[in-house]
Amino acid sequence: MNKETDYQPMEDAESTSSKAEAAKPVETGGTRKVRKWVHKAKSGNFIYFLPALLVFYSILKEIKVGEPFMYLYHTQFLNYTAKTLNGDIHPWSAYAYLVAIIPIFLFTDIFLYKPVMYLEVLGQFAYRFTLVFTNNLLSQQIGQACYGIAMASEVAFFSYIYGRLEKNQYKRLTSWTRAGTMAGRTGGYIFAQIMILTQTGTYLTLNKIAFYVPVIAICLCFLMPRVSWKTLVDRIKASRERKVSRRSLRESIPTKPKPSKKKITQLYRHPIQNLLYSDSGSFAPTL
Residue 150 falls inside a structural domain: yes
Range of the domain at 196: 47-224
Asked if residue 84 belongs to a domain, the reply is yes
Q: Which DSSP string corresponds to 191-236? A: HHHHHHHTTS--HHHHHHHHHHHHHHHHHHHHHSPPPPHHHHHHHH
Residue 19: inside a domain: no
Phi and psi, residue 130, nearest 5°: -65, -30
Any domain includes 203: yes
Q: Is residue 192 part of a domain?
A: yes
> Domain for residue 196, yes or no?
yes
CATH number where 109 lies: 1.20.1250.20
Domains of the chain: total = 1
At 287 the pLDDT is 43
Handedness of CA 223, 229, 231, 236 (dihedral sign): positive
Q: Cβ of 154: how many Cβ atoms within 10 Å?
A: 16
Taking only the tens of pLDDT, the chain with its 287 residues reads 444 444 444 445 445 444 444 444 455 655 666 566 555 554 544 567 888 899 999 999 999 998 999 999 999 889 999 999 999 999 999 999 999 999 998 988 888 888 999 999 999 999 999 999 998 999 999 999 999 999 999 989 988 888 887 778 888 888 999 999 999 999 999 999 999 999 888 999 999 999 999 889 988 888 888 877 777 677 777 767 777 777 777 767 666 665 555 555 555 555 555 555 554 444 444 44
What count of other Cβ atoms lies within 10 Å of the Cβ of residue 232? 14
**Global confidence as pTM:** 0.67
Q: Does residue 240 form part of some domain?
A: no
How many residues comprise the chain?
A: 287
Residue 252 falls inside a structural domain = no
Inter-residue contact 227 to 113 (CB < 8 Å): yes
* Pair 161, 174: CB distance under 8 Å: yes
Quote the pLDDT of residue 255. Answer: 63
